[in-house]
Amino acid sequence: MRELLKPEPAQASPVAGTQRSHAMWRRLAPWLTLIVLLTAPPLIWRQSWLLVYLAQTATMIVFALSYNLLLGETGLLSFGHAAYSGLGALIAAQVFNHIGAPLALLPLVGGAGAASCGALLGFISTRRAGTAFAMITLGIGELVAAAAWTLPDWFGGEAGVAIDRASGPMLGAFTFGPAREAYTLIALWCLLASAAMFALSRTSFMRLANAVRDNPARAAAIGCYPRRVRYGVVVMSAFFAGIAGTLALINVELVSTDSVSMVRSGSVLIATVIGGTGVFFGPVAGAVVLTFFSVAVASITRAWLFYLGLFFIVIVVAAPDGLAGFIQRHTSRLARDGWRPCRAVYLCGTAAILLWTVATVLAVQWAYAVQFGAEAGAALRVGGQSSWLSFVTASPLRLGLTIFVLAALGALAALSASRAQTRLAAHVRTMKNAGGPQ
């Protein structure tokens, strides 16, 4: 009788198993994408410039993730983060030249040196939070950048401090002299540092940092010390920034005054905001975009800084949560509503973006061609070569008319996307009402 009344063991639902499988793939997809980004291109294309580009990307990924420990996790806006990156690289270069540390462990030396600087400078900067913290880091960044020029014996002056990465102890058969061997080391350290920061972001200490970011008064009321938490995050962020600076040192075999400049501090801020601070892999996306502009776009046009600034403004206005947040929101939307109801919105929106992009590029490139000596009736030049749009750009009148037509078509596409969005919202409300309680 007891056996008859005994409840049968619950069986796993196929739907629950599918949901767990999808959740696991969603967690693994960013890591797989990062691994493919760092490993697949060198295996397919063996050009040396590609290794340099990917090495810069890997370096910026670590740098942006280290900055997001401050901005995204703790809410600390820093304008002098390049000071830790450059000082860590400088200490690593001096140690490598005078002691001969193994190149494979040199990022640890740079990270430890940057953490030491963070322990000293962070003690000053974390005495205040918010705008005061940002202004203190701005002053510290300016002081370090000025010291790089006033102490040439330590910073190397205009020439910087150079290393010969092949002069250190060998690691098996690796001398790290060839670019492929150096890039392998940089990619491995990029993955290792990213995994370490991901694990760090899941610790209870970073949860305290999130509490300090959201409500420092309440965090202090439950026994947390906001200043100590900020200080600890600054030191850890400086450690990973030093690793990033050392990876850049391994790539170019030189650390110069530009490594601690305010321009580099601004670039990591731009990369982090573009990618998004609310998602761990947001700064990774921002680092890829920033490197694309500074390397690929800069190789074909001198207006790349203008395009980067314009793209940054569009992201801040249209997607304040960055590219990662934008993708996350629209992925959830497609999963909820399906592709068919959203098709008109995305097609019209994409058409508007493409048309406005082409119109903007035509206008900017023509302006730069005129500014830098090209005649008004000359063909549009991109990267010093005549483009295939020579017929359109043969005269200013024809070019202006083309830009106006493209902008008008983009406006019509944007209006169509707005109307489709309104119809989609009405359709979603209707479906919710139809599926609600009767």
How would you write 16-83 as a 3-class SS string?
Answer: HHHHHHHHHHHHHHHHHHHHHHHHHHHHHCCCHHHHHHHHHHHHHHHHHHHHHHHHHHHCCCCCCCHH
- Letter for the amino acid at 138? L
- Is the predicted pLDDT of residue 426 greater than 90, yes or no? no
Quick one: tokens of 329? 């929101």
Rounded mean pLDDT of the chain? 85
CB distance 235 to 124 below 8 Å: no
- 337 and 398 within one domain: yes
The rounded distance, in Å, linking the Cα atoms of 232 and 243 is: 17
The rounded distance, in Å, linking the Cα atoms of 125 and 136 is: 6
- 364 and 232 within one domain: no
In a domain, 273, yes or no: yes
Amino acid 234: pLDDT: 96
Cα atoms in the 13 Å half-sphere on the side-chain side of 279: 21
- pTM over 0.85? The answer is yes
- 341 and 290 within one domain: no
In a domain, 436, yes or no: no
In a domain, 194, yes or no: yes
Q: Identify the domain boundary among 272, 307, 325.
A: 325
24, 29, 31, 35 alpha-carbon torsion, rounded to 10°: 140
Q: pLDDT tens across 165-220, in order?
A: 888 777 777 788 888 889 999 999 999 999 999 999 999 999 999 999 999 889 88
Cα atoms in the 13 Å half-sphere on the side-chain side of 77: 8
Higher pLDDT, 194 or 129: 194
The rounded distance, in Å, linking the Cα atoms of 74 and 230 is: 7
- Is the predicted pLDDT of residue 310 greater than 70, yes or no? yes
In a domain, 2, yes or no: no
Higher pLDDT, 430 or 59: 59
- 105 and 138 within one domain: yes
The rounded distance, in Å, linking the Cα atoms of 158 and 201 is: 38
- Is the predicted pLDDT of residue 300 greater than 70, yes or no? yes
- Is the predicted pLDDT of residue 21 greater than 70, yes or no? no
Which of 39, 13, 33, 18 is CA-nearest to residue 280? 33
- Angle ∠(100,101,105) on CA atoms, nearest 5: 155
Amino acid 383: pLDDT: 44
**Greatest C-alpha distance within the chain:** 99
Q: What SS3 state is found at 111?
A: helix
- 215 and 352 within one domain: no
Q: What SS3 state is found at 376?
A: coil
Burial track 220-237 (b if 16+ CB lie within 10 A, e otherwise): eeeebebbebbbbbbbbb
Higher pLDDT, 309 or 381: 309
Which of 241, 312, 213 is CA-nearest to residue 64? 241
In a domain, 12, yes or no: no
- Is the predicted pLDDT of residue 393 greater than 70, yes or no? no
Report the domain count for the chain: 2
CATH number, position 259: 1.10.3470
What is the rounded end-to-end Cα distance, in angstroms, of the chain?
A: 43
Amino acid 292: pLDDT: 93
% the chain with pLDDT above 70: 88
Domain with 360, as residue range(s), is 332-429
In a domain, 11, yes or no: no
What are the angstrom distances between the C-alpha of 128 and each of 68, 120, 135? 19, 15, 10
Higher pLDDT, 336 or 275: 275
The rounded distance, in Å, linking the Cα atoms of 333 and 132 is: 39
Amino acid 424: pLDDT: 78
Higher pLDDT, 367 or 214: 214
In a domain, 435, yes or no: no
- 61 and 34 within one domain: yes
Which of 423, 424, 419, 429 is CA-nearest to residue 339? 424
- 363 and 295 within one domain: no
Amino acid 52: pLDDT: 86
Higher pLDDT, 165 or 24: 165
- 371 and 289 within one domain: no
In a domain, 84, yes or no: yes
Q: Residues 62-70: what's their mean pLDDT? A: 96
- 371 and 259 within one domain: no
- 224 and 141 within one domain: yes
Q: Identify the domain boundary among 325, 344, 369.
A: 325
What number of H helices and E strands is found in the chain?
17, 4
Q: Residues 71-87: what's their mean pLDDT? A: 94
Which band of pLDDT confidence, cut at 50, 70 and 90, is reported for residue 355?
very high
Which of 362, 280, 354, 357 is CA-nearest to residue 324? 280
- 152 and 44 within one domain: yes
Amino acid 57: pLDDT: 94
Q: What SS3 state is found at 382?
A: strand
- Letter for the amino acid at 81? H
Q: Identify the domain boundary among 325, 354, 372.
A: 325
- Is the predicted pLDDT of residue 389 greater than 70, yes or no? no
The rounded distance, in Å, linking the Cα atoms of 232 and 201 is: 13
- Letter for the amino acid at 313? I
Quick one: tokens of 340? 């068919």
% the chain with pLDDT above 90: 46
- 321 and 336 within one domain: no
Phi, psi of 315 (to 5 degrees): -65, -45
